Each structure stands twice: as structure tokens, then as C-alpha cells.
Amino acid sequence: MNNFQTILIAVFLAFFIFGVLIFSGILKLGGDVVNTPQGNVVVWGTLNNPDVYKILDNLNQTNPNLNITYVVKPEATYEQSLIESFADGTGPDLFIMKSNMINRFEKFVYKTPFANYSERLFRDTFIDGADIYLANDGIIGMPLVVDPMVMYYNKNLFKNEGLSQVPQYWSDLFNLNSKLTKKKDDGTILQSMIALGRFDNITHSKDILATLFIQSGNTIVKRDNSGTTNPYVSTLNDNPSSLVVSPVAAVLNFFVEFSNPSDSAYSWNRSLPNSIDSFTGGKLAMYIGRASELFKIESMNPNLSFDITQVLQTKGVSTKSTYGDIYAVSVNKKSANLTASVGVSNLLTNSDNASSFAKALSLPPVLRSLLAVSPTDLYLSTFFNSAVISKSWIDPNSNSSDIIFNQLIQNILTNNSSVESAINKAKDQFDQILNK
């Protein structure tokens, strides 16, 4: 080997070692601020928690060239404030988004191209349900935490009836109702097994229906890839297997049974208090609610003896699922500091910060790596398991969809139309909203 070959090999070897040191993080080019977002970045959200401010303050302190300002907005006016700010050019650089905002706010979002953050990496990093933030042309938001639907149950009411286990499947309820629902001779309900069958006095009735629909394989709304003006269409009347009774119709038939006085499953009616009040008052055996309600339930009745388990599942379905509100960080496409805003969105949702946000909010994270380590906390372990199976849907407008679902249930309960006709009407109403 001549001297030239020896020198050439040495040079290539040096470059190789240099590259290994760079990619391993042992050697950093230009100091610690390389690839760190710089400048002023304003974030809007509704998460009002002192620990959230601490997380952001810590990021500012550890990144001297970065200044993140978090502005808390009232939840009731949050979306309207965002729309107005985007219209007059005063919008935040980043904003916290929930799945029920995607349809209306996607047009304001800078979508991270898959060339910069691949779809494969996104799916490998976050839970399956986070894929609602995947558009055809990029990522709508970087997922942060999830608030899954779970089942709270009154331990004393179960023990009083000699029941050592809580049900796992919706169909198990039919065998439990005679024990857990108590009535007067005139039929007045004194104690209920579970709040199902109506819309108006059941807390999270829409989310319960969404859970049932998702478990049946229906996403309620889906992305339309046919090139139409609006990328979303309703799937409520889909019947892919051409069954005599569609999956959604089967769900609705099941749901309304629990408010039918002539049915053996009868356990709920419109004269009863709101379901969360019934549960905290010790008059409801099982309450389907969100993980985020834990502290509220404890404060409403500190003496209530309860526990939490995963939401009931549909027997015969191999894949478990529940509905979950998935929070994400989205970038304003008109941000004056777009590069830094994208960088901060990635920074906020990395493993360390996502873990901090989850602890601050007492909600499970959406990163698979964090969910792989089950917490020892009595309730958090259930929340983590529920987070893994959480899925969401593209709710086009929360207030409008509440009305649509309420009318859907009412039309069935009052026999104003057949179940299929009621479904078709609801589907058309959803499409009208989606096409606005």
C-alpha cells in the first residue's frame, strides 16, 4: 500500500469517526444551541395548570435563545378567539388542538411534511388513535396527551349484591341489571346499574355513543381521498358487509334498550339526575366518563368507595378500543417565526416533555415508549391501558354534533322514524356541516 492510499484511508476513517460522534451526540457542532428553536414563540391553549407554566419556563431557561409564552384562553370562547385572531393576523404561533377542532382548523395549520417527519415514524411513535392528525399532505398536529373514556364503578353497590367482579362486555349488563337496578313497586328507579339509553341527562352521552360506534368499526367521519373540496364525509350509514342490520343500527338498538320501561335492561330514564351526580350520590353502579374526571369525582364525594377499569368492550371483537380526546400541538401556517414554531412543537412533544405534560395534567401520554412502562399508581395504570386502545373521530362541530346525536336518539325513542331512516338523516346532517 503506497503513502497516498494510506493517507486516503486515514482521512475516510477520520470522517467516519467524526460522523459517529456527531450522530451519537457526543460531539456537537456550534455548541448546544444547534438545532434548538430560537426566538419568540406564543402558544395558546385551555390547559390552565401551574405545572404547565413550569415546564415551559424550564424550556426557556435551558434554551437561552428561546422565549416561549403560554396564553391560557377560556375553553368556552377558545375556538372563536382563535378564528378571530387568525382572521386579523394576531394569532398565536402554536395552539393546542383537540380532535373536534381538526375539521375547522386544518386550513389554518402548517402541516409538517412527511419528508421532514415521516408517516412511518409518526405511526411508530404515537398510539394508533393519533392517526387522525395525519392528512394526505402532512401532519396536522403533534400529539401530546389523551383523555380516554373509562368506567368508574361503585365498589359497595357491587359488594352488596355479592358481585366480586365488574363486567368486561356490554352484553354482560343484561345479566346484572336485575341485581344492580332497584325500583319501587310503581317502577320508579331508586338505584341504576348504568346510564345508557338517553342523551340529555347522561354525561358524555356523545362520547359513549362514539365509543360504541368505534367498537363496531364505524369512524362516524372519515377523510375523503376522492379529491372533493371538503376532505371529510360521514360514514354513519356505511354497511360494508351489507348486513340486514348495519353495525351502527345494532349499536343504537342496544343503546336505547336501557331506557325502555318494557325491556329487562331498563335502568335509566329522563327523570333521573345527571349521571355523574347519580354516581357521586351513590345511586349509580357504573359511570362511563373520562380519565380527567377522577379528581372531580373525588371532590364531589370524598367518601365514595369506587374504582376504575377499562370501558366495556363488544364481545367477539378481537381489538379493544375506547374513545379518547387526543390533544395535539399545531403550528399556525402564518406564524412570523415558522421555523422556531415547528421546532417548539417537536420539542414539546418529545419523550421528556411529553412525560412532564402527562404528569402535570394527570393524563396518559400518547407516546408508545412512555406507555410501555406501566405506572404503579392505582388509577394511572388503567388510564395508561386505556390510552393504548384510545381512538378519536373528526367531530366537525361539537355543538352541532350534540344536537344531531340528541335528535338521532330522540327519533328512535319516539318512533318518529325507523332506526335506519334516523341514521340516514343524521348522516346527511353531518355532511351538511362538513361541506360548509
Assess if residue 16 is contained within a domain.
no
Q: Given CA atoms 253, 255, 256, 261 in this order, what sign does their dihedral have?
A: positive
Read off the C-alpha cell for 380.
394511572
Pairing of strands 322-332, 390-391: parallel
- Model-level pTM? 0.89
**pLDDT value, residue 285:** 98
Q: How far is CA 265 from CA 77, 85, 256, in A?
A: 40, 50, 10
Residue 159 has pLDDT above 60, yes or no: yes
384 or 6, which is more confident? 384
Read off the C-alpha cell for 167.
363486567
> Based on the domain organization, do 337 and 426 belong to the same domain?
no
pLDDT per residue as tens digits for the range 70-95: 999 999 999 999 999 999 999 999 99
* Closest CA relative to residue 425, chosen from 207, 197, 225, 412: 412
DSSP state of 349: T
- The total number of structural domains in the chain stands at 2
113 or 224, which is more confident? 113
> Based on the domain organization, do 268 and 156 belong to the same domain?
yes
Rg (CA), the chain: 25
**pLDDT value, residue 31:** 32
> Based on the domain organization, do 346 and 305 belong to the same domain?
no
Assess if residue 382 is contained within a domain.
no
Q: How far apart are CA 96 and CA 383, in angstroms?
A: 21
**pLDDT value, residue 224:** 77
Assess if residue 22 is contained within a domain.
no
What residue ranges in 58-172 does DSSP mark as E strands?
66-72, 94-97, 109-110, 134-135, 138-139, 142-154
- Which of 60-69, 227-236, 342-351 comes out lowest in average pLDDT? 227-236
Q: How far apart are CA 119 and CA 121, in angstroms?
A: 5
Q: In a 3-state reduction of DSSP, which class is residue 70?
A: strand
Assess if residue 12 is contained within a domain.
no
Q: Which helix (H) or strand (E) holds 243?
A: none
119 or 225, which is more confident? 119
In this prediction, residue 96 has a pLDDT band, given cuts at 50, 70 and 90, of very high
Residue 20 has pLDDT above 70, yes or no: no
Residue 302 has pLDDT above 60, yes or no: yes
> Based on the domain organization, do 413 and 274 belong to the same domain?
yes
> Based on the domain organization, do 191 and 275 belong to the same domain?
yes
How far apart are the two ends of the chain, measured CA to CA in Å? 74
- Percent of the chain exceeding pLDDT 90 equals 82
Read off the C-alpha cell for 120.
412511518
Residue 146 has pLDDT above 60, yes or no: yes
Pairing of strands 322-332, 306-310: unpaired
> Based on the domain organization, do 49 and 182 belong to the same domain?
no
Q: How far apart are CA 143 and CA 141, in angstroms?
A: 6
CATH number of the domain that 56 lies in?
Answer: 3.40.190.10
> Based on the domain organization, do 99 and 183 belong to the same domain?
no
Residue 32 has pLDDT above 70, yes or no: no
Q: Is 389 exposed, middle or buried (0-12, 13-18, 19+ CB in 10 A)?
A: buried
Read off the C-alpha cell for 53.
407554566
Residue 202 has pLDDT above 70, yes or no: yes
pLDDT per residue as tens digits for the range 34-73: 367 899 999 999 998 899 999 999 999 998 899 999 999 9
In this prediction, residue 225 has a pLDDT band, given cuts at 50, 70 and 90, of low
Assess if residue 7 is contained within a domain.
no
Residue 368 contacts residue 126 (beta carbons within 8 Å): yes
pLDDT per residue as tens digits for the range 373-426: 988 888 999 999 999 999 999 999 999 999 999 999 999 999 878 999 999 999
In this prediction, residue 242 has a pLDDT band, given cuts at 50, 70 and 90, of confident
**Sequential DSSP letters for 38-66:** -EEEEEEES---HHHHHHHHHHHHH-TTE
pLDDT per residue as tens digits for the range 354-379: 999 999 999 999 999 999 998 888 89
Structural domain boundaries, residue 129: 31-146+326-377
Q: How far apart are CA 318 and CA 223, in angstroms?
A: 25
Assess if residue 3 is contained within a domain.
no
**pLDDT value, residue 78:** 97
In this prediction, residue 228 has a pLDDT band, given cuts at 50, 70 and 90, of low
> Based on the domain organization, do 356 and 429 belong to the same domain?
no
Assess if residue 383 is contained within a domain.
no
> Based on the domain organization, do 175 and 319 belong to the same domain?
yes
Give the mean pLDDT of 118-138: 96
> Based on the domain organization, do 221 and 365 belong to the same domain?
no
Q: In a 3-state reduction of DSSP, which class is residue 100?
A: helix
Residue 27 has pLDDT above 50, yes or no: no
> Based on the domain organization, do 268 and 159 belong to the same domain?
yes
* Closest CA relative to residue 301, chosen from 152, 150, 147: 152
**pLDDT value, residue 417:** 82
Q: How far apart are CA 9 and CA 119, in angstroms?
A: 38
> Based on the domain organization, do 130 and 205 belong to the same domain?
no
Assess if residue 156 is contained within a domain.
yes
